[in-house]
C-alpha cells in the first residue's frame, strides 16, 4: 500500500503540472481526491492491514492527503487570483464585542494620583526594586542598630542587598541626582516578609512623595494631601493627623482616613477601629537632606508614603487585599 500511495502522489503531481485550465483542475481534483476518488479507494484497504502496519501507513496516508490538498489549493489560487469568498454582509447588524483587558484597581488609582500630582507641578519617577541597605535604610537615618528596622520584615539577598521595603528608598537617590528644588512622586512595588491576611500582603504598591525647596513647611504638606485625597475619592473624606515616628522625617505624622469600606463602623480592613492608616508623612529629616547633598539650614521639605493598594481598597470598598493580586477574573472583571 505504501508503494501505491507514493505512486499515486507522483502521478497526481505530474498531471497537475500539465493542467492549463481551471475546469480541468477541478476534474483532476475530483478524480483523485473526491469522495469516490482513487485516493479514498486505496485508503479503504487500511482495514485489511496488520495492527503493526496500520499506524505507519495511516500516518503516511494522512500526510500525502494533506500535501495534495495544499498543492491543489495553490493551483486553484493561481487560476483564480481574484477569487473572493461569497458572503452577505449586513452593515446594520451590531458588531461582535471584542473582549479586551483592563487595568488593575491599584493601577487605576495610581494613574489618578499621578494626574493629581502632575497638575500640582510634581514629576513621576521610577527606581530599583532590588536595593542596597544604604538607600533603603542607612541613608534614611535608619542605622543598623535602629529599632525601626524591626518593623519592616525584609527579604534579604546576597551582598547586603534586599527587596525594597518601601518606596522611600528613592528619596536620597533623587536628591543626589536632581538636587533642589525638587518636587516628585515615586510609585512602585514593595515587599515585606510577613504573613498575609485581609489587610496585609507580602507584595503591594506604594507611592512616595518628596518636595524639597526653601521655606517648605507643614502647611504645604497638609494642603498637598487634601488636594490629593479630594482628587482621588471625588468627595470630601474624614481624615485625622496623629503623631508618628519615622526616622527619615521630623516631626512625623500618621494620616488616617475613615474606613470607606464600613463607613467607620468597624471591619476586617480597619481592624474594627473605623480608621485606616493611609499616609505616614512629615518634614524631611536634616540627616536625609545631608545624605542627599543638601544643606538643611538652607533647604527644607516634606515627604509622605501612600499605600496605593490600601487606597484602591478604600476607593472600591474591597475587603481583602489578597484579591488585588489573585488573578481571579471574577474579581477583576468588576472594574
Q: What is the mean pLDDT of the chain?
A: 84
- The stretch 10-36 carries a mean pLDDT of 79
Same domain, 58 and 140: no
The reply to whether 287 falls in a domain is: yes
Question: Hey, which of 21-35, 119-133, 225-239 has the most confident mean pLDDT?
Answer: 119-133
Per-residue confidence (pLDDT) for residue 320, from 0 to 100: 85
E strands, 137-248, are 161-163, 182-191, 203-213, 239-243
Res 115 pLDDT > 60 = yes
- Do the beta carbons of residue 25 and residue 80 sit within 8 Å? no
Res 83 pLDDT > 80 = no
Res 274 pLDDT > 80 = yes
Same domain, 54 and 164: no
- Do the beta carbons of residue 245 and residue 147 sit within 8 Å? no
Res 54 pLDDT > 90 = no
- The stretch 128-149 carries a mean pLDDT of 88
The reply to whether 96 falls in a domain is: no
| Between residues 100 and 121, the one the model is more confident about | 121
- Do the beta carbons of residue 289 and residue 298 sit within 8 Å? no
**0.85 cut: is pTM over it?**
no
Sorted by sequence, the CB contacts under 8 Å of residue 288 that are 6+ apart come out as 139, 140, 141, 171, 172, 175, 248
- Do the beta carbons of residue 244 and residue 253 sit within 8 Å? yes
∠ CA 146-152-156 to the nearest 5 degrees?
Answer: 95
Residue pLDDT, tens place only, 195-216: 877 777 888 899 999 999 999 9
E strands, 192-298, are 203-213, 239-243, 249-258, 275-284
Res 282 pLDDT > 70 = yes
- The stretch 169-177 carries a mean pLDDT of 95
Half-sphere exposure of residue 280, counting CA atoms within 13 Å on the CB side? 16
Res 49 pLDDT > 80 = no
Percent of the chain with pLDDT over 90: 30
The reply to whether 182 falls in a domain is: yes
Range name among 212-221, 254-263, 294-303 with the lowest pLDDT average: 254-263
Res 152 pLDDT > 60 = yes
Enclosing domain of residue 19? 2-79
Per-residue confidence (pLDDT) for residue 50, from 0 to 100: 78
Domain finish residue from 79, 113, 145:
79
The reply to whether 121 falls in a domain is: yes
| Between residues 73 and 190, the one the model is more confident about | 190
Same domain, 231 and 280: yes
Q: How far apart are CA 152 and CA 123, in angstroms?
A: 28
The reply to whether 88 falls in a domain is: no
Number of domains in the chain: 2
Range name among 11-25, 40-54, 135-149, 300-314 with the lowest pLDDT average: 40-54
Same domain, 117 and 66: no
Per-residue confidence (pLDDT) for residue 180, from 0 to 100: 93
Q: How far apart are CA 197 and CA 133, in angstroms?
A: 27
The C-alpha cell that represents 181 in the structure block: 528644588
Could you please report the per-residue DSSP string of 37-98? SHHHHHHGGGGGS-TTHHHHHHHHHHHHHHHHHHHHHHHHHHH-TT--------TTSPPPPP
* CATH number of the domain encompassing residue 293: 3.30.930.10
Same domain, 215 and 147: yes
Half-sphere exposure of residue 256, counting CA atoms within 13 Å on the CB side? 14
Per-residue confidence (pLDDT) for residue 75, from 0 to 100: 78
Res 88 pLDDT > 70 = no
Domain finish residue from 42, 63, 79:
79
Same domain, 62 and 110: no
Same domain, 6 and 145: no
Res 294 pLDDT > 70 = yes
Same domain, 168 and 312: yes
Res 179 pLDDT > 80 = yes
- The stretch 15-43 carries a mean pLDDT of 78
* Band (101; pLDDT cuts 50, 70, 90): confident
Per-residue confidence (pLDDT) for residue 16, from 0 to 100: 77
Res 321 pLDDT > 70 = yes
Res 81 pLDDT > 70 = no
The reply to whether 100 falls in a domain is: no
Res 225 pLDDT > 80 = yes
Classify strands 182-191 and 123-124 as parallel, antiparallel or unpaired.
parallel
Same domain, 54 and 119: no
Domain finish residue from 79, 96, 130:
79
Handedness of CA 237, 243, 244, 248 (dihedral sign): positive
- The stretch 43-52 carries a mean pLDDT of 75
The C-alpha cell that represents 9 in the structure block: 502522489
Amino acid at each position: 500500500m505504501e508503494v501505491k500511495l507514493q505512486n499515486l502522489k507522483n502521478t497526481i503531481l505530474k498531471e497537475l503540472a500539465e493542467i492549463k485550465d481551471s475546469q480541468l483542475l477541478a476534474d483532476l481534483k475530483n478524480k483523485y481526491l473526491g469522495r469516490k476518488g482513487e485516493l479514498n479507494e486505496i485508503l479503504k484497504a487500511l482495514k485489511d492491514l496488520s495492527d503493526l502496519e496500520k499506524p505507519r501507513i495511516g500516518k503516511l496516508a494522512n500526510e500525502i492527503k494533506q500535501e495534495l490538498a495544499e498543492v491543489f489549493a495553490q493551483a486553484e489560487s493561481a487560476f483564480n487570483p481574484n477569487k473572493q469568498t461569497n458572503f452577505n454582509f449586513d452593515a446594520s447588524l451590531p458588531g461582535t464585542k471584542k473582549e479586551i483587558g483592563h487595568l488593575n484597581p491599584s493601577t487605576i488609582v495610581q494613574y489618578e494620583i499621578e494626574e493629581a500630582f502632575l497638575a500640582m507641578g510634581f514629576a513621576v519617577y521610577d527606581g530599583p526594586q532590588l536595593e542596597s541597605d544604604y538607600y533603603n535604610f542607612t541613608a534614611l537615618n535608619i542605622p543598623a542598630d535602629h529599632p525601626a528596622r524591626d518593623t519592616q520584615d525584609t527579604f534579604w539577598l546576597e551582598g547586603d542587598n534586599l527587596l525594597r521595603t518601601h518606596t522611600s528608598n528613592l528619596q536620597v537617590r533623587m536628591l543626589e541626582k536632581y538636587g533642589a528644588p525638587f518636587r516628585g512622586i515615586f510609585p512602585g512595588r514593595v515587599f515585606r516578609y510577613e504573613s498575609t491576611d485581609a489587610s496585609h500582603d507580602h507584595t503591594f504598591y506604594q507611592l512616595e512623595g518628596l518636595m524639597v525647596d526653601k521655606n517648605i513647611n507643614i502647611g504645604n504638606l497638609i494642603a498637598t494631601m487634601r488636594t490629593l485625597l479630594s482628587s482621588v475619592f471625588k468627595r470630601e473624606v474624614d481624615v485625622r493627623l496623629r503623631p508618628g515616628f519615622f526616622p527619615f522625617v521630623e516631626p512625623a505624622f500618621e494620616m488616617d482616613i475613615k474606613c470607606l469600606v464600613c463607613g467607620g463602623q468597624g471591619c476586617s480592613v480597619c481592624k474594627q477601629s473605623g480608621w485606616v492608616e493611609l499616609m505616614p508623612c512629615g518634614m524631611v529629616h536634616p540627616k536625609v537632606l545631608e545624605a542627599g547633598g543638601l544643606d538643611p539650614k538652607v533647604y527644607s521639605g516634606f515627604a509622605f508614603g501612600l499605600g496605593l493598594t490600601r487606597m484602591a481598597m478604600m476607593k472600591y470598598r474591597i475587603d481583602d487585599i489578597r484579591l488585588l493580586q489573585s488573578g481571579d477574573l471574577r474579581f477583576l472583571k468588576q472594574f
